[in-house]
A = this chain, B = another copy of it.
Amino acid sequence: MKTFDQYLAIVNEAVDAIKSRHPQVPANLYDPIYYTMALGGKRLRPVLTLMACEAVGGKVSDAIMPAVGLELFHNFTLLHDDVMDRADVRRGEPTVHCRWNDNVAILSGDAMLTMATQHIAHARPDVLPQVLKLFNKTAMEIYEGQQWDMDFESRNDVSISEYMEMIRLKTSVLLGCACKMGALMGGASEHDADALYRMGVNTGLAFQLQDDVLDVWGDPSTFGKATGGDIMNNKKTYLLLSALIEADEDDEAELKRWIADTKARPEDKIPAVRGIYERLNLKEMVGNVIDRYSRKALDDLDNTESLNDEAKRAFANLILKLIKRDR
């Protein structure tokens, strides 16, 4: 096994090479793709794929193209989500639909999805049917998650279990897919491939809940984006949904006033809502839920049959790093 940074270096090199392996014109189709991929990001998914492949005894060279395919796919979803959410900034730079226009963002996103599939198609022919099936199923689940997320905006009866299912679909299954795909390409048994899938999904759930926590209590200078965005947008996160259940009459009334106040200033609303969350001990409560999913992920890892101690340690360290992160 290599270190995280060594896998990351391999991924970054392969991502940087995308442009040289594909056409340059029409520029309005291809430039936005290369622009998006050059913005960087954690590259977590392809790293997980390479790690899982080597952890079960496979070679990086068998997994690198599909790993890059997952990174292309992930960035395609962000590109189209940014159009749908009318988001102006991504990783500190203008989003594609702002820098170009909506049509360019739609079409270059479509091309990124096909380009992702082209990379997935590089899986060895003996595992290609399974790998492709996993990828397509995961993609459908992610669209479902995005649609539920949009549907939830106009609903006032979203339950916590619906929220958990939404984030499972929208963000967690892709981490599970990244792990399982690497395992399949490394020649893992079905048992181990499935255990690593569950490990990825549980890590993803903990990761997303941690994202909700960081939006409220994170330090903007390390988190990379302004905090309080979920509060300002009345986003139905685990925290808001829990608060609406746990709050006494007074806190509930105050929370609902803030939700209804479309003209509230961030400097008033964010600390007020954060204060309600703190009175309800939600930081600790969500922290416990995050710990539960982390433990599940570590149990899944322990359940694998072919991973040696070094491989298990590498994954365990990564899981803990992801979940204890402050950015």
Q: Which residues on A are within 8 Å of B, measured CB to CB?
A: 23, 26, 28-29, 80, 83-84, 102-103, 106-107, 109-111, 113-115, 117-118, 121, 125, 128-129, 132-133, 136-137, 139-140, 143-144, 146-148, 150-151
Does B125 contact A140, Cβ atoms closer than 8 Å? no
The distance in angstroms between the C-alpha atoms of A83 and B23, with both chains bound, is 25
Contact partner of A29 (CB less than 8 A), chosen from B80, B115, B137, B143, is B143
Q: Report whether B133 and A121 are in contact in the complex, using a CB–CB cutoff of 8 Å.
A: yes
Asked whether A106 lies within 8 Å of B107 as measured between CB atoms, the reply is no
Known: A28-B150, A28-B151, A106-B80. A143 touches B114 (CB 8 A): yes
Is A136 a contact of B150 with CB atoms below 8 Å?
A: no
Contact, CB under 8 Å: B143 / A110: yes
Partner of A136, one of B117, B128, B140, B148: B117
Other-chain residue from B29, B118, B128, B150 in contact with A125 (beta carbon distance below 8 A) = B128
Residues of B within 8 A of A139 (CB): 114
Task: List residues of chain B with CB within 8 A of the CB of A133.
Answer: 118, 121
Copies per assembly: 2
Do A132 and B121 form a contact, CB below 8 Å, given A113-B113, A151-B28?
yes
Report whether over half of chain A's contact residues are helix, strand or loop; otherwise say mixed. helix
Sample 5 A-B pairs with CB under 8 A, ordered by A number: A26-B151, A29-B144, A117-B132, A118-B133, A118-B140
3 interchain residue pairs of minimum CB distance: A29-B147, A26-B147, A84-B103
Distance in angstroms from A82 CB to nearest chain B CB is 11
Q: How far is the CA of A28 from the CA of B117 in the complex (A)?
A: 25
Task: Provide the residues of chain B in CB contact with A84, threshold 8 Å.
Answer: 103, 106-107
> Do B125 and A129 touch across chains, with their CB atoms under 8 A apart?
yes
Q: Which residues of B contact A137 (CB under 8 A)?
A: 118
Give every chain B residue within 8 A of A151 (Cβ-Cβ).
Answer: 26, 28
Q: In this complex, what residue of B is CB-closest to A126? A: B125
- Contact partner of A129 (CB less than 8 A), chosen from B29, B103, B110, B128, is B128
Assess whether A23 is in contact with B136, with CB atoms less than 8 Å apart: no
Q: A83–B97 Cα gap in the complex (Å)?
A: 14
Contact check, A26 vs B144: say whether CB atoms are below 8 A apart: yes
Bound-state CA distance A61–B147 (Å) is 34
Q: Who on chain B is nearest to A112 by CB? A: B143
Selected contact of A113 from candidates B103, B110, B132, CB within 8 Å: B110
A118–B146 alpha-carbon span in the complex (Å)? 19
Once bound together, how far apart are the Cα atoms of A139 and B114, in whole Å? 7
